[in-house]
Amino acid sequence: MSGVGSLFAETHEAAREEIAPGAFVLRGFALSMGTAVLGALREVTAAAPFRNMVTPGGYRMSVAMTNCGALGWVTDRNGYRYDSVDPESGKKWPAMPGAFRELAERAAAEAGFREFRPDACLINRYEPEAKLSLHQDKDERDFTQPIVSVSLGIPAIFLFGGFVRGDKTQRVPLEHGDVVVWGGPARLRYHGVMTLKEDEHPLLGRMRVNLTFRTAG
Ligand code: SIN
Ligand code: FE2
């Protein structure tokens, strides 16, 4: 490879932080596609508004959620599941916007998962004081496919743990445009989000939005 090519590769490499085997933080990866992603986000949430779902145990979640793509993740008194229909509207979830799919597939490839084809995008909205308890993403059928998680808006501390809930967690600060990809040996690691601090983002206001792409079906 010539000088310029190898320099570029090194710069690129430096932006990819491995936080555990199979788990990577891609700093600022979504920034170049930001405008298209935010426009698409507005369209999706107009068709399927954010709502605070109830856990099987009867607690209303502090994180508001919606979905796009063929399948959407839902929780209610009956449990967690993927459903092609939004229970609030009785209609299919909005299609996954091209800008979302492209971002998710490019990020996955950057982390070494070149075959990733997401069919589900869970959209989480955190306001200050909201948090997401440690959990595993395990309602999907095929664990050979990674999770791609895009952070937008105000910053958060992502907790990345081990394979049992009580394992030590790393605190990973995430900002607007950062993408986390975990798959392979990291696919079933516990993770969560610490209580968000009061803050304001120039594009999204007092809000953090997280797009989580999965192959669910
Ligand atoms: C999730 O685990 O579904 C979301 C993680 C995040 O908001 O960063
Ligand atoms: Fe998760």
Number of domains in the chain: 1
Ligand minimally distant from the alpha carbon of residue 140: 2
| Sign of the dihedral defined by the CA atoms of residues 56, 58, 59, 60, in that order | positive
**Neighbour tally for 61: CB within 10 Å:** 17
- Distance from the CA of 214 to the center of ligand 2, in angstroms? 10
Weakest-pLDDT range from 2-16, 71-85, 163-177:
2-16
Q: Binning pLDDT at 50, 70 and 90, where does residue 28 land? A: very high
- Distance from the CA of 4 to the center of ligand 2, in angstroms? 38
Mean pLDDT (whole number) for 136-164: 97
Distance CA 120, CA 215 (A): 6
Residue 136: CB partners within 8 Å, gap ≥ 6?
Answer: 188, 189, 190, 191
Residues 151/173, Cβ–Cβ less than 8 Å: no
Residues at CB less than 6 angstroms from ligand 1: 122, 124, 132, 149, 158, 191, 193, 210, 212
Distance CA 210, CA 152 (A): 6
- Distance from the CA of 1 to the center of ligand 1, in angstroms? 38
pLDDT of 207 reads 98
Residue 35 lies in domain: 4-214
The CATH number covering residue 113 comes to 2.60.120.590
pLDDT digits (tens, 9 = 90+) for 171-183: 999 999 999 999 9
Radius of gyration of the chain from its Cα atoms, rounded to whole angstroms:
17
pLDDT of 2 reads 43
Mean pLDDT (whole number) for 60-87: 97
Query: Whose C-alpha lies nearest to ligand 1, atom 7?
Result: 210
Task: Give the DSSP per-residue string, 108-163.
Answer: HHHTT-TT----EEEEEEE-TT--EEEE----SS-TTS-EEEEEEES-EEEEE--S
